[in-house]
Amino acid sequence: MGTASAMPISDRNPSAQMLTVNGRLFLIDCGEGTQKAMRKAHLSFLKVEAIFISHTHGDHLFGLFGLLNSMAMYGRTGKLDIYGPQPLGNILNFYGNYFGEGTNFDIVYHPLTGKEPELVHTSKWITVKAFPLKHKIDCYGFRFDEIVTQRHMLENPEYKAKSYAYCSDTMPFQALPEWVRGVSCLYHEATYQDEMADKANSRFHSTTVQAARCALEAGAGRLIVGHYSSRIVDFEAYLAECTAIFKDTVAARDGDVFNI
C-alpha cells in the first residue's frame, strides 16, 4: 500500500503493507495514506488483528492516527494489538489523550526491546517474530510463519508452511540473512541503486544489490523490494541490478497484490 521512502509522491505512498491470512489482516507499517489505500483495496478496518510498526520515522507511522480514528468511527469493539519500538508508546499515549474520545476498543501496545529474534505474537494461523534491524533509530523487522494445522496435513502430508519476512529500513549486517532464512517471500527495502551505496551507508539504508544478496544468502523463495528513493524513475534498470544477483525479484508498486 506504500512503496515510497521519506516523501510521498504522486504515485507512491510511504511504507505500508497488509498481510492477509485466512481472512484476518496484519498491517505492517502505516505511512501517510494507508487508510485511503485500504479503502481502494476493499480491506476492512474491523478485520485488522494486529499492527506492526518497524520504527518511529514519520514515513512509517504518519497514517496511524487517522486509521485508529476511523476504526473508532466504524464502531470497532475488538481489541487491537500494536507492536513497535519503545518510543511508539509515548506516541500512542498522545493519541489516546488528545484523540481517544469515542474509542470503544482496547489498544494493547507491546514494546519491542529484543536484541535477537523474539516471538511476539501468536494467533490461530501464524506466529510472528520481531528482530532488530540496523538503522539510525531502534527499528525492527518481522517474520510471519504459518502454523501448519491438522487439516493441512490431512489434505497434503507434504504441505510446507508458508512464511513472509519484512525488513524495513536497514543497512546490511551479518545476522540478517540467518534471521530470515528459508522464508517463502522476503520484503527488503532497497532505497538506492548500487551507484549510491555510499549514500545508503551514511543513511543506514540498503541498495538493490545489498537487498538481493540478503535474499540469496537467506535462501528466500522470492524477493520483493520497495521503499524507493524519490529519485528512482527507471524501474527497469533498478530491477536489473536485483535480478542479476537474485532472479526471482519483484519491484513492488503501490496497489500490487502477491500470493505467497
pLDDT along the chain (260 residues), means of 10: 90 96 95 96 96 98 97 95 98 96 95 97 95 98 93 83 97 98 98 96 97 98 96 90 98 96
Domain contains 260: no
Asked whether residue 135 falls in the same domain as residue 176, the answer is no
Q: Please, which residues have CB within 8 angstroms of residue 185's CB and are 6 or more apart in sequence? A: 162, 163, 164, 165, 220, 221, 222, 223, 224, 258, 260
What is residue 163's predicted lDDT score, i.e. its pLDDT?
A: 98
pLDDT reported for residue 188: 98
User: Are 115 and 20 contained in the same domain?
Assistant: yes
Query: Residue 114: its pLDDT value, please?
Result: 95
Same domain, 150 and 232: no
Number of domains in the chain: 2
- Residues 218 and 117 both lie in one domain: no
**Residues 65 and 142 reside in one and the same domain:** yes
Residue 198: domain span? 170-254
CATH number at residue 115: 3.60.15.10
Q: Helices 87-99 and 64-73 sit at what angle, rounded to 10 degrees?
A: 40
Please tell me whether residues 96 and 142 are part of one structural domain.
yes
The whole-number pLDDT of residue 191 equals 96
The whole-angstrom separation of Cα 64 and Cα 73 is: 14
Statement to judge: residues 132 and 215 lie in one domain: no
Residue 8: per-residue pLDDT: 81
Confidence (pLDDT) at 148: 87
16 & 139 share domain: yes
Task: For residues 231 and 192, state if they share a domain.
Answer: yes
**Given this model, what pLDDT does residue 79 score?**
96
Q: Active-site residue 145, yes or no?
A: no
Q: Strand pairing of 126-132 and 140-146?
A: antiparallel
- CA 67 → CA 6, 45, 223, distances in Å? 20, 8, 28
Catalytic residue among 11, 29, 59, 138: 59
- Mark whether 18 and 139 lie in a shared domain: yes
| 74 in the same domain as 35 | yes
